[in-house]
Amino acid sequence: MAGRALIPSWGRVASLYAGGLALALLPLLLLSADRFWLNILTYTYLFAGLAVAWNVLAGFGGQFSLGHGVFFAIGAYATGLLFMKWSVSPWLAILPAALASALIGSLIFLPTFRLKGSFFAIATLAFNEVALVFANYFESVTGGPRGIQIPFRAGFANMIFADPRGYALLMFGFMALTLAVALVLRRSRLGYYLLAVREDEDAARAAGISVVRVKLRATALSAALTAIGGGLFAMYVRTIDPPTLFSLPDIGVKFALLTLIGGIGTVIGPVLGAFLIVPIESYLRALLGGSVPGLHLILMGLLMLLAALFMRRGVAGAIDALLERWRRRARSAA
Amino acid sequence: MAAPGKERSVSMSTPAVERPPGESFLRVRSAVKRFGGLTAVDNVTFDVGRGEIVSIIGPNGAGKTTLFNLVTGQLKPTSGEVSLNGEVINALPPDRRARLGLGRTFQIAKPLVALTALENVMVGSFLHHRRLGAAEAKAREVLDEVGLAQRAAIRASQLTLSERRRLEVARALALDPSVILLDEVMAGLNPSEVGEAIALFQRLNASGLTFLIIEHNLKVVRAFSERVIVLDRGAKIAEGNAEHILSTPEVVTAYLGSRRR
């Protein structure tokens, strides 16, 4: 027990990462012929990545943001506008988009860091609503409520694929990127400092941690990754409009829901949440949306209720508890 | 005195007599802290020399923890000055002071409950060890020092009270501080644990660590500290050698609270 490796080695982490990604790629191989499921899978990868990005600030740092729709929208608009107005390849455009999101995120979140818990959540929720109004108002830039349409000009440089599997792979790559960032972060000084800030700010300060600086860095990182997701989303749906980007149930709050169900504050939790919820929700929406509108939301609500009652620490927490029980049994048997 | 009715004779004060050995490392000059009408720390001046062990004692509500918080930066003084190693640190937030070499524990231990004991200490050791491996090695070393090596993998929420206190000390030690402030770190420990803690602190002191401690256990004070500062109702009423101070009648009455009879 005493000599048990507590912090897994990089080699072990890398092999778990590769194995997990291979597993996540499996459905793509099985479903690639089915356009309906391929679309769902594409969204699953995208939202898994977005939830991981949200978890960087909210899960590790304990800053429960409901304003990540703003970063998502910044990414979508910046990528789309750079592509439409100056023909910048989206592959390049996502970089300034991420940078802008990190800067704006740091600026607008800075004054809210004094707020704790739900007060922080409400303040950041307000950012989402204000940004929605701005996006609708500045029609000359954003196209207003009607948004921006990106014409279908297939090509790798345009990040527009004739084969829908291209998008699935693209989103898979995004998920892999965010997951790699989260893994490195969890094992870095900033990662440890974030956890300390989440657990107890006074104790963190006593350990020499500048609480505001740590929150700012996590915000910048989280906002940048979310913006990349927003840019990819824009190139997938090829319509950039405010009601979609700033939707709370589909974007801003969705990141939080997926992460909570999967296991907040863990590296893998947000991915598990996305793989559980996105397919079920999309399937139910398609199945019931035509006949009984809204029924899929009732069923989803029920599912979340059950998760809140029986999986307080999310799917990741439940798996953890099972493993722990199994280990204990193995130990007592030995 | 500021508030009427708080007048009293400052029975004994021994400045200039008991100069700390060596250079003055931590200096507190005329520190005052008021909370509205209440003067919690009333014009307190003292020095701690490098490598010294100084205890602050006094009855409940004497202002010990408030004085402590003025030194750590948790609170800013209403007036007066705190300096560390010649640098005035009045305006610095706690994290800057920690980076200058000031480690502390909290009276009510603040374990990071979701993290393991090892991770708790790594939060401290990352200050001077940027890389994961180095931070982990340093944390293991400190855990071993405080006798928690066997508990490294346990979540802090599962630790016993005495283990939590040791964890608190370990996190502070992991900063490689030059002075450590311990706030009633012995409370709730059994005699053998107290003995182990004193042995640990003496070892650390021998390697150059300066101690400023708040302690209720007078046995600990006697066994461990070189100099004692006595606070009563916010003011310093005595300062000097532990053995001498603890037998002074004024200190005894203040400490036992018989003054109020």
pLDDT tens digits along B172-183: 999 999 999 999
Say if B22 falls within a structural domain: yes
Say if B4 falls within a structural domain: no
Say if B1 falls within a structural domain: no
Q: Are B221 and B242 in contact (CB under 8 A)?
A: yes
In this structure, what token pair is assigned to residue B199?
A: 């042995």
What residues of chain B, 66 to 85, have a C-beta less than 8 Å from chain A? 72-74
Q: Measured between CB atoms, which of A199, A210, A211 is closest to B112?
A: A199
Interface test with B, best of A195, A214, A324 (most B CBs within 10 A): A195
B153 and B252 together in one domain: no
- Would you say residue B18 has pLDDT above 90? no
pLDDT tens digits along B41-66: 999 999 999 999 999 998 888 899 99
Between the CA of residue B66 and those of A239, B74, B77, B89, B235, what are the distances in Å? 59, 9, 10, 16, 12
Chain A contacts of B72, Cβ < 8 Å?
A: 206
Q: Is there a contact between A189 and B74 if contact means CB atoms under 8 Å apart?
A: no
Which residue range(s) make up the domain with B167? 108-176
pTM of this structure = 0.90
Q: CB contact, 8 Å: B115 with chain A?
A: yes
Which residue, of B128, B152, B176, is where some domain finishes? Answer: B176
Which residue, of B155, B176, B197, is where some domain finishes? Answer: B176
pLDDT of residue A86: 95
- Would you say residue B139 has pLDDT above 60? yes
B72 and B194 together in one domain: yes
Say if B3 falls within a structural domain: no
Calpha distance A78→A88 (Å, rounded): 10
Q: Measured between CB atoms, which of A2, A207, A265 is closest to B175?
A: A207
Q: Measured between CB atoms, which of B110, B174, B175 is closest to A203?
A: B110
pLDDT of residue A233: 98
Say if B2 falls within a structural domain: no
B129 and B157 together in one domain: yes
Q: Measured between CB atoms, which of B93, B119, B136 is closest to A205?
A: B93
pLDDT of residue B258: 56
What size, in residues, is chain B?
261
Q: Is there a contact between A6 and B152 if contact means CB atoms under 8 Å apart?
A: yes
pLDDT tens digits along A122-160: 999 999 999 999 999 998 889 888 899 999 999 999 999
- Phi and psi of A115, rounded to 5°? -80, 145
Chain A contacts of B110, Cβ < 8 Å?
A: 200, 202-203, 206
Mean pLDDT, chain B, as a whole number? 86
pLDDT of residue B9: 37
| Residues on chain A bordering chain B, Cβ-to-Cβ distance under 8 angstroms | 1-2, 4, 6-7, 187-189, 192-193, 195-196, 198-200, 202-211, 265
B83 and B190 together in one domain: yes
Which residue, of B152, B176, B200, is where some domain finishes? Answer: B176
* Chain B closest-CA separation from residue A204 CA (Å): 8
pLDDT of residue A189: 97
- Look at residue A8 and give its three-state secondary structure: coil
Chain B contacts of A265, Cβ < 8 Å?
A: 114
Say which residue, B258 or A39, is predicted with more confidence.
A39
Name the helix (H) or strand (E) containing B33: strand B24-35
Q: Measured between CB atoms, which of A192, A195, A205 is closest to B94?
A: A205
Say if A120 falls within a structural domain: yes
| pLDDT band (50, 70, 90) for residue B256 | low
pLDDT of residue B22: 53
B39 and B16 together in one domain: yes
**pLDDT by residue, tens only, chain A of 334 residues:** 444 457 889 999 999 999 999 999 999 998 878 899 999 999 999 999 999 999 999 999 999 999 999 999 999 999 999 999 999 999 999 999 999 999 999 999 999 999 988 999 999 999 999 999 999 999 888 988 889 999 999 999 999 999 999 999 999 999 999 999 999 999 999 999 999 999 999 999 999 999 999 999 999 999 999 999 999 999 999 999 999 999 998 999 999 999 999 999 999 999 999 999 999 999 998 888 788 888 888 888 888 888 888 888 899 989 988 988 888 888 787 6
Query: Which spans in chain B are helix H?
Result: 64-72, 94-99, 117-125, 132-145, 161-173, 191-206, 218-224, 242-246, 249-256
B187 and B240 together in one domain: yes
Between the CA of residue A80 and those of A152, A329, B19, B53, what are the distances in Å? 13, 55, 71, 65
B13 and B97 together in one domain: yes
- Would you say residue B109 has pLDDT above 60? yes
Say if A216 falls within a structural domain: yes
Q: Measured between CB atoms, which of B95, B114, B119 is closest to A205?
A: B95
* Chain A closest-CA separation from residue B94 CA (Å): 6
Q: Structural domain tally of chain B? A: 2
b/e per residue, A281-290, with b = 16+ CB within 10 A? bbebbeebee
Say if B73 falls within a structural domain: yes
Q: Is there a contact between B112 and A200 if contact means CB atoms under 8 Å apart?
A: yes
**Radius of gyration of chain B measured on its C-alpha atoms:** 18
pLDDT of residue A204: 97
Which of the 8 DSSP states describes residue B20?
A: P
- Would you say residue B217 has pLDDT above 90? no
pLDDT of residue B59: 86
> What residue ranges in chain A does DSSP mark as E strands?
148-149, 239-240
Q: Structural domain tally of chain A? A: 1
pLDDT of residue B257: 58
> Chain B: residue nearest A2 by CA?
B150
Q: What is the ipTM of this complex?
A: 0.89
- Would you say residue B28 has pLDDT above 80? yes
Which candidate, A239, A231, A238, places its Cα nearest to that of A75?
A231
